[in-house]
Structure 1
Amino acid sequence: MQYVDKHNKKLDKPKVTYFTVKDDVSLPAATGISAKIDDKGFLHVSWNPVQGASSYQVFLQARDLSEKGDGDTYVTTMRITKETKADFTEAESSADEESTFYQNKMFRSGILVDSSVNAENVYNNRLRAKGGDQSITEDMVADYVADRNTVKDVSIIVRAVKEASGDKKAEYAPLAYLNINSLLSQIPVASFTPESGYSKTTPMSHDTVKEHLTKYVSMADGSLTQGLKVLDFSKAQAYGNPDTQVITFWEVPYTVKGTILSGVVGFRHAEWSSLEDAQKSVDQATAQVVASWPKTSDLTPYTPDKNVDWHEVTKNNTVATSMPDIDKELPGIKVSGSNELVKYIAANLLVGHRVMDVSAYVNVNEADTLVQDAYREAVFQNPLLCGSQTSPDIHVDGSKVLLGVQYNSIVDELKTVDAFKKTRDGVMDLVHRYQKSAPSNPADQVKYYHDALANLVDYDYDAKESGRYIGQAVDSSVLVLLSADGKADMGNKTVCAGYAQAYQLLLQQAGIDSWYVVGLIGDTTGDSGSTRSHAWNLVNVGNGYKVVDVTWDDPEGEAPETDYLMADVNGSGEVGRRVYEDHYLPAGKLKTMVPESRIS
Structure 2
Amino acid sequence: MKFENDWIRIVIERKQLTREQKENRRWITKDRFLKTGISFALIAALLAGVLYGSTCSMKGEEAVFVSESGDKEEPAGPGNAGDEESVVYIEQKRLAGEVKEKYENHTIYGHTYGEPIEDLGRGDNLVFELGYDATAIEGVEYWYEIYGIYQDPELTEPVIAGDYLWDPEKKTLTMTPSHYGVNKVAFGGLSTEQVKRYEHSDNLFFDRGSGADWGNLGTLYLAQYYDEQTGQKLEKPIVRIITLKGELEETPHLTYSVLEDGRAQFSWTPVEGAEDYLVCRVKYREERGLDSMMFALAMTKETTWTTEQPEYDVTELVNQEFKTYRVSEDDWNNEGDFEYYKDQYEPGQVVYEDTSYGEEGICVIAICKEGTSMASNYFLNRELAPKLPHCIAFDTERANGFAESYERVKELPVYDYVTMCDGITNQRLIDYQTEDANVSMERFLLLDEEGNFTGAEDLLCLHIPYRVEGTPFYYTMRVDDYQEENLERDLEFLEEREADLRKKSGELSLKMAHKEVGRETEIEEEEKQVRKVEDTPVFASSALSEYLALSMLGGATSIDLSDFPEARDLSLAEDALLEAYYQNPLILGLKEYRFNRRGTVLHLAYDETASVQARKQEEIREEVSRVIKRIIRSNMTEEEKELAINEYLCDTVTYDEDALANAEQNDFMYVDQQYHDSFTAYGALMNGRCVCAGYAAAFKLLAQEAGLETIVVTGFLDGSLSHAWNKVLIGNEWQIVDATNNDNDRISNALFNLPAFAGDRVLVEDRDYMQDKAIRNYTGSSEEYEYYHMTDSYFPVQEIAQRLTEGLKEKGEITLRTDYALDDDDFYNVTDTVFEALGEDAELYGCYWIGVIYLSLE
Q: Highest CA radius of gyration, 1 or 2?
A: 1
TM-score by length of 2: 0.30
TM-score by length of 1: 0.41
